Amino acid sequence: MNNNKLNLDSAQTLLEEHRQKLDRFSELLIAENQKYNLTRIDSPEQIWVRHFLDSLAGLSVLNELSKKTGKPLKILDIGSGAGFPGLVLAIIRPQWQITSLEATEKKANFQKMVCDTLELKNTTILNGRAEAVAHHAQFRQQFDAVTARALAAMPVLAELSLGFVKIGGLGLYWKGPSANKEVQTAQAAIKQMGAKIENSLSYTLQTEDVEPANLSLVICKKIKATPTQYPRVFGIIKKKPLS
């Protein structure tokens, strides 16, 4: 597995170009957070770095994939919460199709409200669970890439997400500093899903008032079809993670 450092300078520039929409998103998030506690990160500066900039950690990899396919990407963001990274990708890449899948209804509804307010035309928000939706023909092996941030440990994540990915497509997973160790424990699960580990990129997010966060992005590539029995029901995935 390669281990490279990720540079987020061009992502920062791109965010600036979409500041108007992103500031509105930030305001909606802060207002909603006061009602429901959607996220612990709640100052505009923290939101900009820890949500918006972090959401673009996968951008260079996705840009490359888009160049390779020669078409606008179809991306599924799983367990998207208040819309990260999915809605940020939708804002900065209006030509890509972003589907956002979230199990909690109030969070999916918040995302719908954000899409309406910002007039995003390239998003579909689904309220549902990955392990169920992954078995629908309409979604199975239909996406160029899946993304997931703060959803589950790697073996669970591999099982929940890789059935959605086309052969040749990618799984992008936002992880903390111990990603490499986590990936080692997920080797077998990733292989059973018909994928392999492609890369792991490390990066640091820095804001004024808190410690820098050392993070990483793990990338898996789908090389053959995921066996139809996966993903299993959630209770079984949790109780008996693939190993």
Answer yes or no whether residue 104 interacts with ligand SAH by CB under 6 A: yes
Helix or strand or coil: residue 198? strand
Q: How far is the CB of 82 from ligand SAH (least distance, A)?
A: 6
Give 44 or 168: the residue with its C-beta nearer to ligand SAH.
Answer: 44
Q: What's the Cα-to-Cα distance from 212 to each of 50, 203, 243, rounded to whole Å?
A: 10, 10, 33
Number of Cβ atoms within 10 Å of the Cβ of 1:
13
Helix or strand or coil: residue 202? strand
Give 66 or 80: the residue with its C-beta nearer to ligand SAH.
Answer: 80
Answer yes or no whether residue 232 interacts with ligand SAH by CB under 6 A: no
Answer yes or no whether residue 150 interacts with ligand SAH by CB under 6 A: yes
Answer yes or no whether residue 231 interacts with ligand SAH by CB under 6 A: no
Q: How far is the CB of 231 from ligand SAH (least distance, A)?
A: 9
Q: How far is the CB of 109 from ligand SAH (least distance, A)?
A: 12
Answer yes or no whether residue 98 interacts with ligand SAH by CB under 6 A: no
Question: Which residues within the stretch 48-87 sit at the binding site for ligand SAH (CB under 6 A)?
Answer: 78-81, 84
Pairwise CA distance, residues 167 & 223, whole Å: 5
Please pick, from the candidates 160, 201, 215, 220, the single residue that binds ligand SAH as defined by CB under 6 A: 160
91 near 114, Cβ under 8 Å?
Answer: no
Degrees, nearest 5: CA angle 4-8-13: 155
Q: Quick one: which H or E segment has residue 76?
A: strand 74-78
Question: Which residues within the stretch 110-149 sit at the binding site for ligand SAH (CB under 6 A)?
Answer: 129-131, 149
Residue located via tokens 């139809």: 228
220 near 170, Cβ under 8 Å?
Answer: yes
Give the footprint of ligand SAH on this chain (CB under 6 A).
78-81, 84, 101-104, 107, 129-131, 149-151, 160
